[in-house]
Amino acid sequence: MKPSAHSNGSAQLRGALGNRQMTMIAIGGVIGAGLFVGSGSAIREAGPAVLVAYAAVGALAVLVMRMLAEMAVAQPETGSFSSYAGRELGPWAGLSVGWLYAYQWCVTVGFEAIAGAAVAHHMLPSIPTWLAALVLMVALISVNFARVESFGTFEFWFAMIKVAAIIAFLLIGLAAVLGALPDTSAPGTANLLGHGGFAPNGWLAVLQASLVVFFSYFGTEVVTIAAGEAKDPARAVRRGINSVVWRILLFYIGSITVVVMLLPWNSTAVTDSPYVAVLGHLGVPYADTAMNFIVLTAVLSCLNSGIYSSSRMLHSLAERGEAPALFARTTRLGVPAPAVIAASSIGLLTVVANYFLPTTAVYQFLLDSSGAVAVVVYLCITVTHLRGHARLMRERPEALTVRMWAYPWLSLLVLAALLAIIVGMAADSGSRRSLLLTLLVTVFAVVAGLITQRARHLKTAAEPAPSRTLV
């Protein structure tokens, strides 16, 4: 990407992220605290059949990322799907989905700051949660104020720790499943098919668990946001997105298989923290402490990615005239400092609120109103791809070096599946409030986008045409 120069003479975003950093950003984006802790609620909901939910939703995520990869490799941009939606569907679409995505990450930053503070307080009880949250926010804001290489370096090592933890868990778990560990016997299918069967709560429960699983996969798209600052964006995006398949198979499905084979799905320990439960069951010393450290790493990674992704989306919106021009300004290091501050604002306000109050109604509203943004983003990517692929085939077929499989049928299948998820969320009392509030915020964003597009059109129409001088 070659961003346009700004009239204020500031520096531009820098293409400085290497291929190794981009690959680990892609890997780290899909491994969050939702895998290490949140998977317990999905297991409780569906039993061992949760594997079907992880496989089905994982396949859906792979297809969406394949569509995004096709567009990102053809034209890498910091705005990613927001830029593509603006081009294919109209400025209103790019503005609305860009602001929704930035909003969702801003809220996530606040949530993760509090979650990380809770883990830090558990490890070091003498530190109050508000102070731990403040330290985490200041540390990660500082990282994002430095050169983009700092973000890439931190995210590289955060991802390395998470990957190493999962691989170690898989190796230990596989040895236990095979009965190769001392004082352990192979469990066979006792836990997988016993305790009520493979789907003890019925297949409707598997569908409901899929809603929980869906949001665990969100974050892979961060690599396409970072493409605008990569040294070799097309290659980096291609490698990062192509690795989604084995990441999902290995990290999610592999580790969850270990959990449901080694322990009964209805165990309280599995619900609370499945990975700690397995390691404790196998007698691994300091399992709780080790997992707290890994979960804290996952939270820090999410904080780092959230500030980065939200700030770059705001920067891209500003460059297109769809956000305040202030957010387009960059420092001499190529960092969009005003956008970084804006991306961190909800997190900082959450720290203040956490000092005065344990919880706030306002923050709960923010969480609920951003909870289903992932579905909206995936829907936008799918519709944009359906339009964009046809246009590129007509105008620049040589740019399609990465192509969506079985176009348009798989794309249409993804669209139907995403609409089914929305119906499922509406039918589930646990997610209905979040869906309704997210749809309310989405309608607001779309209306704002349409008004902005209309105002821009009227302004353009009112400008006098340039005069022609006959020579």
What's the confidence (pLDDT) of residue 122? 84
Cite the DSSP H helix spans in 89-242. Answer: 91-123, 129-145, 148-177, 190-193, 203-216, 222-225, 233-242
Q: Is residue 196 part of a domain?
A: yes
What's the confidence (pLDDT) of residue 47? 94
| Its pTM surpasses 0.85 | yes
Nearest CA among 234, 235, 276 for reference residue 259:
276
Domain span at residue 343? Answer: 19-457
What's the confidence (pLDDT) of residue 466? 57
Percent of the chain with pLDDT over 90: 39
Number of domains present in the structure of the chain: 1
Cite the DSSP H helix spans in 6-90. Answer: 19-30, 33, 39-46, 50-74, 80-88
Percent of the chain with pLDDT over 70: 94
The yes-or-no verdict on residue 125 having pLDDT over 60 is yes
List pLDDT tens digits, range 392-406: 999 999 988 889 999
List pLDDT tens digits, range 287-337: 888 888 998 898 888 889 889 999 999 999 999 989 999 999 999 888 999
Least confident of 60-64, 153-157, 259-263, 462-466: 462-466
What do you get for the CA distance between the two ends of the chain, in Å?
Answer: 40
Q: Is residue 468 part of a domain?
A: no
What's the confidence (pLDDT) of residue 6? 42
Look at the block and give the residue holding tokens 């933890």.
Answer: 165
More confident of the two residues 140 and 220: 140
The yes-or-no verdict on residue 23 having pLDDT over 50 is yes
pLDDT band at residue 471 under the 50/70/90 scheme: very low
The yes-or-no verdict on residue 211 having pLDDT over 60 is yes
Q: Is residue 465 part of a domain?
A: no
Q: Which of 107-132 are b and which e, b meaning 16 or more Cβ less than 10 Å from the residue's Cβ? A: bbbbbbbbbbbbbbbbeeeeeebbbb
Q: Is residue 277 part of a domain?
A: yes
List pLDDT tens digits, range 443-461: 999 999 999 888 887 877 7
Least confident of 4-18, 91-105, 117-131, 403-417: 4-18
What's the confidence (pLDDT) of residue 358? 56
Q: What is the mean pLDDT of residues 82-101?
A: 94
Give, in degrees to the nearest 5, the angle at Cα 339 between 338 and 343: 120
Q: What CATH number has the domain bearing residue 125?
A: 1.20.1740.10
Q: Is residue 12 part of a domain?
A: no
What's the confidence (pLDDT) of residue 235? 81
Residue 394 exposed, middle or buried by CB count within 10 Å (0-12, 13-18, 19+): exposed
Q: Is residue 464 part of a domain?
A: no
Q: Is residue 1 part of a domain?
A: no
Nearest CA among 47, 312, 341 for reference residue 202:
47
Q: Is residue 296 part of a domain?
A: yes
